[in-house]
Amino acid sequence: MAVVLAFPASAAAKEFDFQGGGDPPVEMTMTGKSFDEPKRVTDFSISPGLFLDCPGYPDYPVPDPMTAPIQQQGIKLKRTKHGLEFKRWTYDAGFVYWDLQGRQSLKNRRRWFGLFYPLFQDPRPDCGTRLFRIPWEAKLTK
């Protein structure tokens, strides 16, 4: 016996795209019932244009754009006194450790902003690690 569950189309999560054309360029996708009350971040990429410098070696380019390895369930958003936000989403991808956070603007719910702290393990001998602090911003496009 097979059981089929049917949900009305209104119950399905919608996808919302956000872009930031500033420095650095950002693309973010969220899902939820509406753009002003999304439930999850499902995709995030940023083009920081970074190079790792180390004395005695040529500059080492960082992959550009950098796409966050977000798991299928996405990054869950939480409501706080500051509005909707996600705090300290982290992921160790070997060469780079992701530390990402963001918040919805209280004045313009179509705008999100936050900080990205990539920590790179330089693959060259004696070059160590590099930590960057990169502010980002993105606005609803569709």
Q: Cα–Cα distance between 110 and 94 in angstroms, integer?
A: 33
* The model's pTM: 0.82
Q: Cα–Cα distance between 70 and 19 in angstroms, integer?
A: 17
Instruction: Enter the CATH code of domain 15-140.
Output: 2.40.128
The SS3 call for residue 11 is helix
Distances (CA, A) of 40 to 2, 46, 47: 31, 18, 21
List, for residues 7-42, the tens digit of each pLDDT value: 444 457 899 999 997 788 999 999 999 998 999 999
Domain locations in the chain? 15-140
Tokens at 126, concatenated: 């004696």
List, for residues 119-129, the tens digit of each pLDDT value: 998 888 888 88
